[in-house]
Chain A
Amino acid sequence: MSVTDFWTPFELNSFLNALFIGLSIASIWLIAAVGLTIIYGTMGVINMAHGELIMLGAYTTYVLQTFFYIPFLLCLPLVFIIVSIFGLFIERTIIRRLYNRPLDTLLATWGLSLILIQGVRVIFGTAPKYVSIPSWLNFQVSLGFLHLPGFRLFIILATAALIFATWYIAYRTTWGIRVRAVMADPDMASSFGIDSNRIYSITFAYGAGLAGVAGALFGGLKTLLPDMGSGYIVEAFLVVVVGGTQLLGSIFSSIILGELASIFSYFTNDTFARFVLFTLIVIFLRFRPQGLITEGMKRR
């Protein structure tokens, strides 16, 4: 690599392709970050084990496929249920003791992530595992100069569906109203008869389930390794914090960050793009620590 070929010259067609790749990156980051957004936004819990919940989702899919011969599409809801039950267990045993101590949740969940990584490594070994995706998703859409792998398109659609479902639950159901009430003011919500502990449990389980589904989808893109989750956690957190810990904010920030990542890596390369992007995010947070979108509610 010399300095001259470090910069890729601009070319419209491949640049447009890069924009699509950006959308694909955005969908991956978003789906990794939705669960985190809900957990952090509602409970103020920094779940560093979120990446490992994604990893568990991927391995669960692998187990369901390999030992129970369950088709991929049916795996998705099953993984959601299994991982959210696990999330419920974590919430009951660890997280529950640490409300009002956000920094300690960060540390305790980091310890948890060490346990999960090593636990999976002991059970499944270090050899990479694979999730097979249905053959009907193995197509390639070619629109002139655009080339879209079918599975990436599927992930974008799945992300959209999950976001819609989450939005619907949060804004169109009584349960969602309760969650948002607890989010806005836990004490006031309690005095109206909402059991905030129960809301926290279910919210954490739901967020964990979403991470599991994300893992099932990522399993189709990449090989499964016990430490695969750590590759997502930083990006997912940045999406959440830049977005302002809200569903809408996370959608915007993941699209912006995904596109920027893709554009930077189009002109330079992947890792340098990461450097530029992370530095930009740090500078952005310096000027707007509350993130892109805020609802003027209590913070920190």
Chain B
Amino acid sequence: MSANIYHNRKAQWLAYIGLFCLLALVPALFDSPFLLNQLARYAVFAMLAVSVSLVWGYGGILSLGQGIAFGLAAYGMGMTMQMQFQDPVSDPVPSFMLTNDLSTLPLLWEPFWSTPIGLALTIAVPTIFFIGFGAMMFQARVAGVFVAIMTLAMLAAWYAMAYDMQPFTSGFNGISPPMPFEFAGVSIDPYSPTAYLICVGFLAALTLSAKLLMQSKFGLIVQAIRDDPERVRFLGYNVAYYQVIVFAISGFIAACGGLCWVMVVQYVSPTSLELTLSVSAVIWAAVGGRLSLLGAILGAYLVNGLQSYMGDELQDVWMIVLGSIFIGVVLFLPRGLVGLIEDALGYFTGKSETETSGVAIERAV
């Protein structure tokens, strides 16, 4: 056993809590609504990256469909916020429906009159969908590349649906609720510290719970399945059960991300169901280090921050830079940037045996 401080649980928890305290202090240090909104968006992206890290880094399931949960939740939140603006008596139907020849509110939209029911549906529908979809795949022992392709196809299907059902979703234009989200009588301005702290709060709560879960017996079994599903099956565990649960939890996290996303951007369109977003989330997690939730968060902040602050003249080549970084990480740093930190800490704090060499998947953080 190595004495690498990177593998020390207390140190890990300190690092996690330190990061979230730092993030929570931002509104006190900077008084810039624009910056807060931007950082709130990064926090949402970080949630998506955490969901990828959980399902892929810990569960060994490469899902290209995290955007399904994100997008469905985004639409749910968009509908909730839109209905907060509508008036049951004088103006019951959103204007984009009227221009699409719908004179009455569709049944699908009715529950969203109530904000609590709307929020519950926003989170429950994607999670339940992920349970069903996951059960369908993992009970059939679909694995590896085939999961990637199936989630990809499912994402493309939902994208087509959001695009096509124009009277219900406003199609390509998307829904832009005219007012900020209002909860318990409080209006949450997307550029306010409140909105930012809600996003960071969600991120912190979800990440810490996920970390706690992954340290539990359940988490260990999930990681064992990642390393060798057959052997775990021989030990008598129901592999599909664990895979479905971890897949559903990742869907739940992504759904929370979708909810916060619409709260801070006040807009939802089919782009949230585009393949680009889902694959970007995979890139963030991979660059930061998919074997660590903290790594995935850092990856999301780093890549998005780089994109925002690289300067206008370099924006043209941003995709080239991102693509090159990604190829470089896949080829030379399979454990991402935190893999480097792990090696560095191992070098300074003690013998790390041969553990840190090679591509082999190691004990996760």
Q: How long is the Cα–Cα vector from A271 to B143 in the complex, in angstroms?
A: 28
Binds A, one of B116-124, B159-167, B201-209: B159-167
Mask, A118-149, CB within 8 Å of B = 1, is 11011000000000000000000000000000
**In the complex, A234 has a CB within 8 A of chain B:** yes
Stretch touching chain B among A61-69, A101-109, A189-197, A210-218 = A101-109
Pairwise interchain contact A108-B326, C-beta atoms closer than 8 A: yes
Taking a contact as CB atoms under 8 Å apart, the answer to whether A118 and B146 are in contact is: no
Interface size of B by CB at 8 A reads 47
Bound complex: CA A20 to CA B242 (Å): 46
Q: Which residues of chain A have C-beta atoms less than 8 A from B310's C-beta?
A: none
- List the B side residues contacting A287 at CB < 8 Å: 140
Q: Give the chain A neighbours of B188 by CB distance below 8 A.
A: none
> Are A108 and B327 in contact, CB atoms less than 8 angstroms apart?
yes
A285 to B157, CA, bound (A): 15
Asked if A107 and B330 sit within 8 Å, CB to CB, the answer is: yes
Contact call B160/A285, Cβ cutoff below 8 A: no
Mask of A217-248 contacts with B, CB within 8 angstroms, 1/0: 00000000000001000100110010000000
Size band of the interface chain A makes with B: 35 or more
Give chain A nearest CB distance to B116 CB in angstroms.
Answer: 30
Q: List residues of chain A with CB within 8 A of the CB of B136.
A: 282-283, 286
Kindly identify, within residues 135 to 168 of chain B, every residue whose CB is under 8 Å from any CB belonging to chain A: 136-137, 140-146, 148-150, 152-154, 156-158, 160-161, 163-164, 166-167
Of B9-17, B40-48, B317-325, B349-357, the stretch lying at the interface with chain A is B317-325
Chain B stretch 199-239: residues in CB contact (< 8 A) with chain A: none
CB-nearest residue of chain B to A46: B145
For A271, give its contact among B152, B164, B334 (CB under 8 Å): B164
Contact of A118 among B275, B286, B320, B327 (CB under 8 A): B320
Closest Cβ of chain A: how far from B65's Cβ, in Å? Answer: 10
B160 in complex: contacting residue of A121, A275, A289, CB < 8 Å: A275
Give the CA-CA distance A122 to B149 in the complex, in Å: 30
Instruction: Say yes or no: is B194 at the interface (Cβ < 8 Å to chain A).
Output: no
User: Inside 8 A of B275's CB, which chain A residues have their CB?
Assistant: 230, 234
The A158-214 residues at the B interface (CB cut-off 8 A) are none
User: Would B156 and A274 count as touching, CB distance under 8 A?
Assistant: yes
A282 and B153 in contact, given A108-B331, A289-B140 (Cβ under 8 angstroms) = yes
Residue pair B324, A107 in contact (C-beta under 8 Å): no
- A281: Cβ under 8 A from any B Cβ: yes
Residues of B within 8 A of A46 (CB): 145, 148
Give Cα A279 to B266, complex, Å: 30
Out of B101, B137, B163, B359, which one reaches A286, CB within 8 Å?
A: B137
Q: With CB as the reference atom, state the residue of chain B lying closest to A279.
A: B157
Which residue of B140, B144, B318 contacts A103 across the interface (Cβ within 8 Å)?
Answer: B144
Alpha-carbon separation in the docked complex, A115 to B330 (Å): 15
Q: Taking the nearest CB of chain B, how far is it from the CB of A271, in angstroms? A: 3
Contacts of A157 in B (CB 8 A): none
A272 at the interface (CB under 8 A from B): yes
* Interface membership of B32, Cβ < 8 A: no
Residues of B contacting A12 in the complex (Cβ-Cβ under 8 angstroms): none
Q: Are the CB atoms of A113 and B144 closer together than 8 Å?
A: no
B316 at interface, CB cutoff 8 A:
yes
Q: How far is the CA of A104 from the CA of B318 in the complex (A)?
A: 22
B156's partner among A106, A114, A119, A278 (CB-CB below 8 A) is A278
A285 touches B150 (CB 8 A): yes
Q: Mark A256-294, 1 if CB is under 8 A from B, else 0.
A: 000000000000010110110111011101110100000
Q: Is A297 positioned at the interface, with any CB of B under 8 Å from its CB?
A: no
Interface centre among B141, B166, B320, B330 (most CB of A within 10 A): B330
C-alpha gap A275/B359 in the complex (Å): 39
**Could you tell me the distance in whole angstroms from the C-beta of A8 to the nearest C-beta in chain B?**
15
The answer on a CB contact under 8 Å between B154 and A1 is no
The contact of A111 among B163, B164, B316, B324, by CB within 8 Å, is B324
- The answer to whether B157 touches A275 (Cβ under 8 A) is yes
Taking CB atoms, residues of chain A closer than 8 Å to B161 are 271-272, 275
By a CB distance below 8 angstroms, the chain A residues around B323 are 111-115, 118
Please measure, in the bound complex, the distance between the C-alpha atom of A281 and the C-alpha atom of B151, giving whole angstroms.
Answer: 11
12 A-B contacts (beta carbon < 8 Å): A97-B331, A107-B330, A113-B323, A114-B322, A118-B320, A230-B275, A237-B149, A241-B149, A274-B160, A279-B154, A282-B153, A300-B145
B: which residues have CB within 8 A of A? 62, 100-101, 136-137, 140-146, 148-150, 152-154, 156-158, 160-161, 163-164, 166-167, 275, 279, 282-283, 286, 316-320, 322-327, 330-331, 334, 359
Which 10 A-B residue pairs are closest in the complex by CB-CB distance? A114-B323, A271-B164, A118-B319, A111-B326, A278-B157, A115-B323, A111-B327, A274-B160, A111-B323, A108-B330
